[in-house]
A and B are shown apart, each in its own frame.
Chain A
Amino acid sequence: MSFFKVEHLGIRFGGVVAVDNVGFEVKRGEVFTIIGPNGAGKTTIFNLIGLIYPATRGRILYQGRELTGLPPHRVAELGIARTFQNIELFEHATVLQNLLIGRHRHRRTSLWREMLFTSSVRQAEIAQREAVEKVIDFLELAKVRDSLVAGLPYGVRKVVELGRALATEPRLLLLDEPSSGLNPEETDDMAFWIEDIKRHLGITVLMVEHDMNLVSRVSDRVLALNMGSVIAEGTAAEVQAHPAVVEAYLGKAA
């Protein structure tokens, strides 16, 4: 049984076929990257996996379980967390509160006990806080812990969003362009974190990325897409050298 597998995945919006018959398999513990020119359908695949869009065809299998057809919140409950290309944080909340929402799937308290704030709720809250503090330590977010997200620079928000995804304690992490909008140093940090996430936390990473430096540095395998279809799959070097990939990015030689 494969860890995560996509079979014949496709979606059409009216006459536009955004993703067409895409299939790939992610092995447990690897970093798998999807690359492709703008409009290739990379983020659409993420939204299909997150069940934000219903797939027109195909299946998504996670640990042998079919995801297609489940309600979107079940995806997180099964241990798949994601970040967004344009950052979707809760802006009027502090970093700490944002990360605590990431703990939502680990809540164990009932509504009535929460209203009374019984000692079991209090203990649960402290346990959640401890788990969040581990993420804060891991991503070195301690100094912004109590700041409002709305006041933070873009680069830090990107890290906070990664932290929120990690706070859910996922088994599969979907990163949508983790380096977009980051300066070279921040990108470097991001690469370290992705490596650490894979090595120390043992989380499988599926990411969409444009920065080929980052891609070749962290990914085990790469999938290239163009116009919604797979054009190449292999290691970063193999895919970069693939004639179809070169053609997709640079065009055909005259």
Chain B
Amino acid sequence: MEKPTTHGRGLEEVSRYYLSGGTREEQGPSNRPRRVCGSGRIVRVCHPGSGLMQSCIVANLALELARNRSSVVVWDCPSPDGAGLESFMESLDLDQQEPASATVRLYGLPDIVIHRGNGADSDKLSDLVSEVSASKDDRCLLVNSHASLESFRTVDLSGEWILLARPDEKELLRCYAYIRVIHEQEPSCTISLVLDDVGQDQDISGMAERFTVFIEDRLRVSVRFLGALRHDGYLRRSIREKRPLVLWQGQSGTKDDLTSISAGFLGLGQGWPNRMDLHE
């Protein structure tokens, strides 16, 4: 017999989600985002062709991770042209109480702590990597460093890499060089690729497939293609107004791409439409 509708049923629904001891993701309907950013995740983002876009991606990825309930810590070394993470978040409420760090506080999201680094602070970064790796809770360290390939031989490269490149042969060749050095230094690293600033008529899937197949054949490294990022007016505006694009309300192709790439990286959604086909 069907249970009659009562006022108490609403309370039951609410309590099921918010008043028990389990995590929110375990309790919701099956299509709710599940928690996938496991404890102690180190993510290094690298766009050799554009320090500006590298910081832009890190800023948006940090917010997407926080939206998925991760405790995000960012190691931020501004690029030589001065494009650091904080410059992308200036319009947000930044708590600047600590001299070497800033905290992004947004209603309903875990805090994002940004540590200001420079090239000489490798010990401090190592400490942060050790701390986050050893943590039992759901923490994620995003490393926004602009180290040259030459310095890769002397620094810690462990973790997960997101490499970004424009869809042309030269930029992808540079990516190949980076992957080779990363793999030689840290064979256990996982590497993902994002194609940045793609045009409407470009065969992105084909290009990504040729690249990943070549890398697999030559280096025995499996590169995961996360997707492509179009550049639209909203992106330029978000950079100009120092407000991360994922926080914008309007319809934007670049914002959709960023969300899709983040979801693909977190394993939450489909990601790039053809991503799953690349290695089949």
A, B from the same assembly = no
